[in-house]
């Protein structure tokens, strides 16, 4: 697919241009409304997720914000998983404070709590993530999405960390799937992007109109890079999962490691659900080096093959220490409530040779 690096497209007649502007299906007239390269990406992501239509956005937060702003009105009731991506959490808090949206936060792994929070005829939206970050909690999508439908709520699932290779939430009953394509779909840490996929064309048309107003459209070159990334998605995902499995298993047996979190590891609290919902454990794991907060911070500074950087889903292994970065505003008690210990290290496992990665981890664990 070539890059259509154009903001506007020329027409031969005023009537044809007017027709193009009628809705999301018309010819491309202006790239905030539609662009051929971006539309190819939208079709591919919709197909991968088993949806009817998709819209691409400038970032994952662009897609998530477009969906939330399009679907929510003041006073609406939202049920959201407690452990959500930080940007989504902040967006919901903002909608609650400035627009009076009532947000109820529940443990995604607690089916009874989610069911109890859904109010039939009142709840507008249920918001979940396929794999929560960094605890790797996997909510029981088939059960929870059916409960949302029964309550008349629209369900939105952030599938960024599983990718459609491991889970297709629409097959389990989701109405909307959102993605940070920055992560596994792009896959090379060189492009920001987002997407929202819809099971239903009506919902798509509603959100598309609001997204055009919001102006979070994907750039054609960013869309082209993402299309390039998607071509190797199955190969990369297989290697991410294999490397994460080997690394998680060895970490679990290491004398200087306390706990390891990875959905495919025996004994993970979400293990049984993950086995039903995911076609693989994914590339993200978390672990706790013996020695608490300082050990976690020192580990991420000692690695040499892996690098200390935000993000997930690229070909290279990235590590972070949530207690000193993404979750630095929480004290130890609040961290514990969020399921994150002060020493926890998050590792987005890349596709390097796993032995290179393991040697690096071993040297970084020396001395704890």
Ligand X SMILES: *Cc1c(COP(=O)(O)O)cnc(C)c1O
Q: Known catalytic residues?
A: 32, 85, 158, 183
User: Residue 362 in contact with residue 302, Cβ under 8 Å?
Assistant: no
Q: Distance between CA 101 and CA 96 in Å, rounded?
A: 4
CA-nearest of 260, 242, 243, 280 to 360 is 243
Three-class secondary structure of residue 327 per DSSP = coil
Minimal distance in Å, beta carbon 311 to ligand X? 7
Residues sharing a CB contact under 8 Å with residue 22, sequence separation 6 or more, in sequence order: none
- CA–CA separation, 244 and 80 (whole Å): 28
Q: What are phi and psi of 76, to 5 degrees?
A: -65, 150
Please give the angle made by the CA atoms of 365, 367 and 368, to the nearest 5 degrees: 70
Rank residues 129 and 137 by Cβ distance to ligand X and give the closer one: 129
Go through the chain and tell me how many residues it has: 368
**Cα Rg of the chain, angstroms:** 21
Binding site for ligand X (CB under 6 A): 59-61, 85, 87, 129, 133, 158, 160-161, 180, 182-183, 192, 194, 312
Nearer to ligand X, 35 or 130 (CB): 130
Q: Which is nearer to ligand X, 130 or 151 (CB)?
A: 130
Q: Tell me the two tokens of residue 64.
A: 């998530």
Cα maximum dimension of the chain: 74
276: DSSP letter:
H
Q: Pick between residue 296 and residue 314 the one whose CB is nearest to ligand X.
A: 314
The CB-nearest residue to ligand X is 60
Closer residue to ligand X in complex, CB, 87/259: 87
Nearest approach, Cβ of residue 356 and ligand X (Å):
25
Angle at 62 (CA atoms; ends 278, 216), nearest 5 degrees: 140
Dihedral, CA atoms, 134, 140, 144, 145, nearest 10 degrees? 90
The DSSP call for residue 8 is: B
Structure tokens that stand for 10 in this block: 């020329």
Least distance between ligand X and beta carbon 178 (Å): 7
Closer by beta carbon to ligand X, 282 or else 354: 282
Shortest CB 125 distance to ligand X, Å: 16
């Amino acid at each position: 697919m070539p890059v259509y690096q154009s903001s506007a497209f020329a027409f031969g007649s005023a009537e044809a241009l007017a027709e193009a502007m009628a809705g999301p299906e018309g010819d491309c007239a202006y790239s905030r409304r539609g662009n051929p390269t971006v539309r190819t990406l939208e079709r591919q992501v919709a197909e991968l997720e088993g949806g009817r239509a998709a819209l691409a956005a400038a970032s994952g937060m662009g897609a998530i914000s477009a969906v939330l702003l399009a679907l929510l009105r003041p006073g609406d009731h939202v049920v959201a998983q407690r452990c959500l991506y930080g940007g989504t959490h902040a967006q919901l808090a903002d909608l609650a404070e400035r627009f009076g949206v009532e947000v109820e936060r529940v443990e995604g792994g607690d089916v009874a709590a989610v069911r109890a929070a859904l109010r039939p005829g009142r709840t507008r939206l249920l918001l979940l993530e396929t794999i929560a970050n960094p605890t790797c909690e996997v909510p029981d999508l088939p059960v929870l999405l059916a409960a949302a439908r029964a309550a008349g709520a629209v369900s939105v699932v952030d599938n960024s960390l599983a990718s459609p290779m491991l889970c297709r939430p629409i097959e389990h009953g989701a109405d909307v799937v959102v993605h940070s394509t920055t992560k596994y779909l792009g896959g090379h840490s060189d492009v920001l992007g987002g997407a929202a996929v819809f099971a239903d064309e009506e919902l798509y048309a509603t959100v598309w109109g609001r997204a055009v107003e919001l102006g979070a459209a994907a750039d054609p070159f960013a869309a082209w890079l993402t299309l390039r990334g998607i071509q190797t998605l199955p190969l990369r995902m297989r290697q991410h999962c294999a490397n994460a499995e080997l690394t998680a298993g060895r970490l679990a047996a290491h004398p200087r490691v306390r706990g390891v979190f990875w959905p495919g590891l025996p004994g993970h609290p979400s293990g049984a659900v993950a086995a039903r919902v995911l076609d693989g454990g994914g590339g993200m794991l978390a672990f706790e080096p013996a020695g608490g907060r300082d050990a976690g911070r020192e580990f991420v500074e000692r690695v040499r093959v892996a690098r200390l950087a935000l993000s997930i889903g690229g070909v290279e292994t990235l590590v972070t220490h949530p207690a000193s970065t993404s979750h630095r505003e929480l004290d130890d008690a609040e961290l514990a409530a969020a399921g994150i210990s002060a020493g926890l290290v998050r590792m987005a496992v890349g596709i390097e040779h796993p032995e290179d990665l393991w040697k690096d981890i071993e040297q970084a664990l020396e001395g704890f």
